[in-house]
Every structure is written in structure tokens, then in C-alpha cells.
Amino acid sequence: MSPAKVHPDKKRGYIVPIGGAEDKEGDSNILRRFLEVSGGKRARVVIIPTASSLDDTGRRYEKIFKKLGAQEARALPITNRTEAAKEEWIAYVDEADAIFITGGNQLRLSTILGGTIMAKAIRRANARGATVGGTSAGAAILSEHMIAHGAEGTTPKAGMVTLSPGFGLTNRVIIDQHFRQRDRLGRLLTALAYNPFALGLGLDEDTAAFIDGDSQVTVVGKGGITLVDVAELEHSSLAETQEGKPVSLTNIRLHVLIEGGRYSLETRKANA
């Protein structure tokens, strides 16, 4: 799935995956920056709490964004595919400056929102310049290929990860969250073995990648981002490996960037 087409007089909005457990009560640097790139105090923020099983998740983020100075923050409590077609809610997304997708279960996002009018509206909003971001599960759904679930561990193994379609805001990266905290290098490498054209983006908790309309990544947060580049992969044993067995991958490039670090998805060059 390719990202929605940008009109000649427009520029694609930021895409902001967050590794989960972002600071909400202290300085809230990531959410504050999210609001800044979306228009600051003029911003109208739509919150999609579909991934969460908690009734108050949407209201909590409404309060957070209003406290940070948003002009408007409105949660859309979409719980089924019929609700994902409500004209009133589609109109909110069409007029939003920013869309924020909360954490929870990413399969709730893909099964409830995947292929709906709402998902198309979110893609369309980003193409016209609106910021679209998400935390944890909300980060995973942003790319074309979403990691649905997988095992922990550093070594890639055949069958270690299950992929499902995401929203397709970008087809350049595969995103994984809670990265170092949950030892997820192996499953990201396995996902890249399935899709060696993509770049792996592993996000630590309370850390975000701000991807602008020129495909420049800037790191914000207290942890690091692990970028795994398999563009020059020389060998993969995945096709010959039995499920559950280790996979051999050679000639992989890996970067770890912390706050302020930058990376170009066009040139695949890092600047710490």
C-alpha cells in the first residue's frame, strides 16, 4: 500500500511513532512537540482510542492535549467497523490538524479500522498536512506492514513474528515499540528478513521519531531509536530455515540515535 498522494500545493504532515510509556504528567516533551508541529495552540487534535480496552483512555488524552494548549481535543471512541463510518467523526478527521492514536492492542486497530472510511480519512489527512502519530500499538499501525505480535529475544528466528497490514502512511519503515525494554531486536530483524526493502525502526519507551514531509527523522525523548538498514543485505537463510530455528543475516547496518539525532529515509544516512 502506497501513502496517499500529496497535492502539488500541499506537503505531507509529520508521522510520529512513539515507543510507548511517553511522559504524560511531567514535561510531556514528546506530546508537547507533537502539538507544536501540528500548529501549537491553534491545533485541533483528534484522538483515536480504539486500541485501548480502558473506557477513559480517550478522555485522558483530551485532558492532556488541552492542558498543553490545544485549541480543541476530541476523542472518537470507535469500537466497531460501523462506527468507523460515522459521517460526523469523519468530518472531525477531515478538519483536524493532528490525529493521535493511543496504545493498546494493535490487532484491535487493524481489525476495527483497517480498510474503513476512517482509515482512508486518516491517510488523506496526513497527505494534506495533518500530523498523524501514535504510541505503542498506535505507532505500530502507522506503516504499511505492522508487527501484529512476536516473541522476545535478540536472535532472529523463522516464524518469530506475525505481520499484518497497517494504515500505510509510510511504506519506508517497519516500526517496533517498547524496543529495548522488551528485547525486540530479533523480531524486528525477522520482519525485515520478510521485507528487506524496508528500514527497521525500533523505538524505546518515552522516545519518538518525528518524520517530516521530506522524510527526515528527528529523535525526541529520553531513550534511543534503533535503525536497522538491510538495503545491502547479502545473505538470508530464512527461506531454508525451519520454524523456530535461528536465521542467518549478513551485511546489516545498525544505528542507535538519541534525542536530537537525525536520519534521512531518502539517503539512509544518520547524523547524531
Measured CA to CA, the distance from residue 168 to residue 171 in angstroms comes to 6
Measured CA to CA, the distance from residue 112 to residue 91 in angstroms comes to 19
Measured CA to CA, the distance from residue 272 to residue 256 in angstroms comes to 9
Measured CA to CA, the distance from residue 198 to residue 168 in angstroms comes to 13
Which of 22, 62, 144, 205 is an active site residue? 205
> Does residue 236 have an active-site annotation?
no
Strand partners, 256: 226
Which of 38, 52, 136, 143 is an active site residue? 136
Which of 22, 144, 145, 178 is an active site residue? 178
> Does residue 62 have an active-site annotation?
no
> Does residue 149 have an active-site annotation?
no
Catalytic positions? 136, 178, 205
